[in-house]
Chain A
Amino acid sequence: QKEVEQDPGPLSVPEGAIVSLNCTYSNSAFQYFMWYRQYSRKGPELLMYTYSSGNKEDGRFTAQVDKSSKYISLFIRDSQPSDSATYLCAMSGLRQGGSEKLVFGKGTKLTVNP
């Protein structure tokens, strides 16, 4: 079983739709959870960061972590064509000597159609 699983899509939705992106993981030591957005031919850009369980909201974006189910989600409300990108989940565990490494999902490609 891979440490992090993410459906690669592609996912295509109409403008204004609510988008749900998800990752599952197997390592119960993961404590830090991130979502990155990557536009075509650009570097990943940190979108949301959550520590441990719970929800975090930032504008149209909400990140949820359910550690009991080992499941994280990113919701995008009122999706816009500018949200079209690949979304990567990433996570890491407790720090070990400070050299913490992230484990990434393979990314979900999202297209929002006008």
Chain B
Amino acid sequence: DAGITQSPRHKVTETGTPVTLRCHQTENHRYMYWYRQDPGHGLRLIHYSYGVKDTDKGEVSDGYSVSRSKTEDFLLTLESATSSQTSVYFCAIRLGDTQYFGPGTRLTVL
């Protein structure tokens, strides 16, 4: 699992509330990614980071922000959750030319 943990693993929240998901890695990888996975859409990149305080947008970044204040943690924040953000969220790290994924966070926005 490339030393990746995600927390929480499951969360149910209400529309309009802020939500922060955490990705933690123990092997000092430089590149980290946040994806969401939805039926019919597959995996889509939300944001990624290429170092501490260095982040950039992916293809579905609207409504999401990220922060990386230390190498091991990459946080994904939904400032005001909407039902369309109900999804499974995966964090990944880059190793060589490939990526390795965490176990995922299942988020439900009611």
State the A residues within 8 Å of B (CB).
32, 34, 36, 41-46, 49, 51, 88, 90, 92, 98-102, 104-107
Provide the residues of chain A in CB contact with B31, threshold 8 Å.
98-99
Q: Is the CB of A100 within 8 A of B90?
A: no
Distance A51 CA – B98 CA, assembled complex (angstroms): 11
Closest residue of chain A to B43 (Cβ to Cβ) is A104
Q: A3 CB to closest chain B CB, in angstroms? A: 11
| CB contact list, B45-87 vs A, under 8 A | 45, 48, 50, 56, 58
**Contact between B56 and A99 (Cβ–Cβ < 8 Å)?**
yes
Question: Measured between C-beta atoms, what is the minimum distance from A105 to chain B in Å?
Answer: 7
- What residues on B are CB-neighbors of A107 within 8 Å? 42
Please give the distance in Å from A83's CB to the nearest CB on chain B.
19
Chain B residues, CB < 8 A from A34: 98
Which one of A43, A46, A101 contacts B98 once the chains associate, using CB atoms below 8 Å? A46
Please tell me the size bucket of the interface on B: 20 to 34
Which residue of chain B has its CB nearest to the CB of A45? B101
Using a Cβ cutoff of 8 Å, how many contacts connect chains A and B? Answer: 49
With A44-B90, A92-B97 known as contacts, the answer to whether A101 contacts B48 (CB < 8 A) is yes
Q: Is the CB of B98 within 8 A of A32?
A: yes
Interface positions of B (Cβ within 8 A of A)? 1, 31, 33, 40-43, 45, 48, 50, 56, 58, 90, 94, 97-104, 106
Q: Top 6 A-B pairs ranked by shortest CB distance?
A: A106-B42, A43-B101, A104-B43, A32-B97, A44-B101, A99-B50
Q: Is the CB of B90 within 8 A of A43?
A: yes
The reply to whether A104 and B42 contact each other, CB–CB distance below 8 Å, is yes
* Residues of the B chain whose Cβ atoms lie less than 8 Å from the Cβ of A104: 42-43
A101 touching B50 in the complex, CB below 8 Å, given contacts A42-B103, A43-B104: no
